[in-house]
Amino acid sequence: MLIQEKKQVGGKLRYRIRDHASLRLLKRLLGFVAKLAVLIVFIFPFLWMISTSLQTFEETLAFPPTWIPAAPQWHNFAEAMRSAPFVTYAKNSVIITVSVIVLQMIVMIPAAYAFAKYRFWGRNLLFGIVLLAFMIPGQVTFIPVYLMMADWGINNTLLPQIIPFMANAFGIFLLRQYFMQIPQEIIESARLDNASEFKIMQKIMIPMAVPALATVALFSFVSHWNDYFWPLVVTDSTAVRPLTIGIAMLRESEGVSNWHIIMAGNVVLVLPILIVYLFASKQIVKAFVYSGIK
C-alpha cells in the first residue's frame, strides 16, 4: 500500500510517496532480479560452452536445445585432442608465457629502478621513448619484425614469440611509479652500508614492489596465454604454434558443424585461466583496473 501525504513545501501543495516497507522490498527484489539477469548474460555463454562440450552431435542439433546433456560425453575431449598435436601446442603456450614473464622481470626491474631513483643526462628523453613505444601497435610492426626474424633464421623457433616482448613498456612505467614512492633515505642508508645496486634491488626494491610485480606478471600471463594475432603472423609451422591457434584451427579441421568437439577444445583453452580467475578474481580485477587507471 502506498500512502500519499500532503505536504506544504514553499507555499505549494505537493504529494509525496512515503517510502513504505513493502515498496522498498519490492524495489530491492526488482533490482536483484535485474542484476541476476545481467550476470546471466555475461556468464551464460561460458556455461553453454561447457554444456555443448559434453553433448552428443545429435543433442547439439536438437530443437529445443539440450540444456544439460543426458550423459556427459567425456570422449569429446579426447576426440578434440586427437585431431591436432595439442600436447605440442599446450607445451608451446606454457613455454612462451613463462619465458616472457621471466625475461620481462629481468629487463624491467633494473630499468624501472634507474628511471625512478637516478638522475642522469637524457633520462626524460629516454623515458619518453619508453612511453612512445607503449603506443606503437604490434598490429603494424609485425611485418618488419617478421622479416628481421627471417633474416636471423629463427622463424621456426619459439623465439619470435618471446624476445619481441622482452621489454614491457607498460611494466616499466607501472613499476617506476611504484619505485618512486619508496623513500630515498632507505636506499641511501643501504648504500652507506656498502650494499651493491644488485643487493638494493634484491633486498629493498623488489620486496616493496611485490603488488606491482604481481600486477605485471598477471597481465603478461593473461595477455600472452590468450594472444592470437602475434603467433599467427610470426609462425610458419605447427611445431611452434600455441594453443590459441590450434583451437581456432579446430573449426577448419572439424568441419563447420561439429560444435561439440570445437567447444571441447575451447574448454581446454579457457580452463586454466578460469581456474586462476576463480581463485584470484579479486587480485586479477584489481590488477587490471589499476593498470587502466594509471
Partner 1 sequence: MNRRRVWETTRPYALILPAMIALFLFVVYPVFYLIKLSLYKYNLLNKDKSKFIGLDNYREIFTRDDFYHALANTAVYTVGVVLCTMLLSLGVAVWLRKRSRFNAILQAGLFTPHIISIVSIALVWMWLMEPGHGLLNYVLKAFGLPGSPWLQSSSTSMISVILVSVWHSIGYYALIMVAALQSIPPTIYEAAALDNASRFKVFWKITLPLISPQLFFILVIMTIGSFKVFDTVKIMTGGGPNGSTTTLVYYIYEFRTTSIGFASATGVVLMAIIAVLTFVYFKVLAQRIHYQ
Which residues within the stretch 7-66 sit at the binding site for partner 1 (CB under 8 A)? 32, 35, 38-39, 41-43, 45-46, 48-49, 52, 60-61, 63-65
Q: 168, 108 in Cβ contact below 8 A?
A: yes
In the chain, DSSP finds a helix count (H) and a strand count (E) of 14, 2
> At a CB cut-off of 8 Å and minimum separation 6, what does 236 contact?
155, 156
In the stretch 182-211, what mask flags binding to partner 1 with x, by CB under 8 A? ---------------x--------------
Q: 176, 134 in Cβ contact below 8 A?
A: no
Please give the residues from 227 up to 246 whose contact with partner 1 meets the rule CB under 8 A.
227-229, 232-233, 244
Binding segment toward partner 1, per CB under 8 A, in 15-23, 109-117, 178-186, 208-216: 109-117
Binding segment toward partner 1, per CB under 8 A, in 69-77, 84-92, 105-113, 179-187: 105-113
Please work out the total of residues on this chain that contact partner 1, with binding judged by CB under 8 A. Answer: 83
Burial 255-266 (b: 16+ CB within 10 A, else e): eeebbbbbbbbb
Please give the residues from 248 up to 267 whose contact with partner 1 meets the rule CB under 8 A.
248, 251, 259, 262-263, 266
Q: How far is the CB of 226 from partner 1 (least distance, A)?
A: 4
The only residue of 107, 182, 208, 217 in contact with partner 1, by rule CB under 8 A: 107
* Secondary structure of residue 245 in the 3-state scheme: helix
> Applying CB under 8 A, does 285 fall inside the site for partner 1?
yes
Burial 146-175 (b: 16+ CB within 10 A, else e): beebeeeeebeebbbbbbbbeebbbbbbbb
